[in-house]
Amino acid sequence: MPSLILRRLLTGLVTLFVVISLTFLLLRLMPGGPFDQDRKLPPAIQANIEARYHLNEPLWKQYGIYISGILRGDLGPSFKYKSRSVSDIVGEATLTSTKLGLMALAVGIMLGTLLGTLAGLTTSRFWDGLLTLAGVASISTPLFIFGGFLVLIFSLSLGWLPAATLESPRHFLLPVLTLSLTPFAYAFLLVRTTVREMRSQQYVLIKRSQGLAESTIAVRHILRNSLIPLVSILGPVAAAIITGSFAVEYIFAIPGLGKHFVTAVSNRDYTLVMGITIIYGLALILFNTLTDIVYGLLDPRLREEAKR
């Protein structure tokens, strides 16, 4: 297991380095610049600004300066928020996105697992079809449409919940429900399929023939083994949810990573885009590695494969 974890971490770091390099290059190839305005600046002022941020240097030198800053833990200054550094902006946004994402992940996984288990165990074609329709609709619906629908119903029409920001616990309900749609859909469809397969396994039939209660068989033998495949998708899903959804954070005016990323791209704020990209990459590496560890603890076959 330690060798498997080490390989995953090394592979992730190489991937992160490639992503940083490609993002750095693509940002410089985009038309326009961080200080292009409708009104052209005087040449002297433009030159001073570019010199301050090393934009007048050759591309290879800009890349070397930025990489050396990353190795020192310095993500550089923001081109648009001149009184704040990228590290400060990303730090605050990460806390906001993480808090929102963890709640959405917990709600989505719990509801998806519960309804997926019920759909897999039920013998009623009506309820199975109805629940399956809900799962397929969830995975097919874009988050910005679902979020807009919730705002239209619960904020604008009924006036029950606030439509934006995170000023109080009530403000969390709509964005959390919107973000939970993705983990709910994956958890529901995967658990339902796995539970249906487990119901006909030989060891389940043996336990049933021994007179065990159906509730005991469902919890101890069917559901427990059905959760193992669910762990394999938690890494990518958790990374995508916890780092924030671009559309959802923008719709609900939440100052998280997603909203900052959208505004940074439109403002050509190179350093802020790079800083958020690094956080996304680190989150994906971390959650994929944690997924491998948990999966290995649950499934002994993975540990044997790692030893070989």
Write out the chain in H/E/C secondary structure.
CHHHHHHHHHHHHHHHHHHHHHHHHHHHHCCCCCCCCCCCCCHHHHHHHHHHCCCCCCHHHHHHHHHHHHHCCCCCECCCCCCCEHHHHHHHHHHHHHHHHHHHHHHHHHHHHHHHHHHHHCCCHHHHHHHHHHHHHHHHCCHHHHHHHHHHHHHHHCCCCCCCCCCCHHHHHHHHHHHCHHHHHHHHHHHHHHHHHHHCCHHHHHHHHCCCCHHHHHHHHHHHHHHHHHHHHHHHHHHHHHCCCHHHHHHCCCCCHHHHHHHHHHHCCHHHHHHHHHHHHHHHHHHHHHHHHHHHHHCHHHHHHHHC
The encoded tokens of residue 131 equal 């629940």
The encoded tokens of residue 32 equal 């326009």
What is the pLDDT of the chain when averaged over all its residues?
78
- The average pLDDT across 169-187 equals 86
**Helix, strand or coil, per DSSP, at residue 77:** strand
- Structural contact between residues 109 and 187, judged by C-beta atoms closer than 8 angstroms: yes
| pLDDT at residue 183 tops 60 | yes
| pLDDT at residue 251 tops 80 | yes
- Structural contact between residues 119 and 127, judged by C-beta atoms closer than 8 angstroms: yes
CA 101 distance to own-chain centroid: 7
CA 89 distance to own-chain centroid: 19
The encoded tokens of residue 149 equal 């629908």
191-239 pLDDT, tens digit per residue, is: 888 877 776 666 666 666 666 666 666 666 666 666 777 777 777 777 6
More confident of the two residues 225 and 185: 185
Pick the closest to residue 79 from 275, 279, 281, 280 (CA basis): 275
More confident of the two residues 295 and 169: 169
pTM here is: 0.76
| pLDDT at residue 41 tops 70 | no
Domains and CATH numbers, the chain: 89-269 (1.10.3720.10)
Q: What pLDDT was estimated at residue 137? A: 83
Lowest-pLDDT range of 9-18, 71-80, 284-293: 284-293
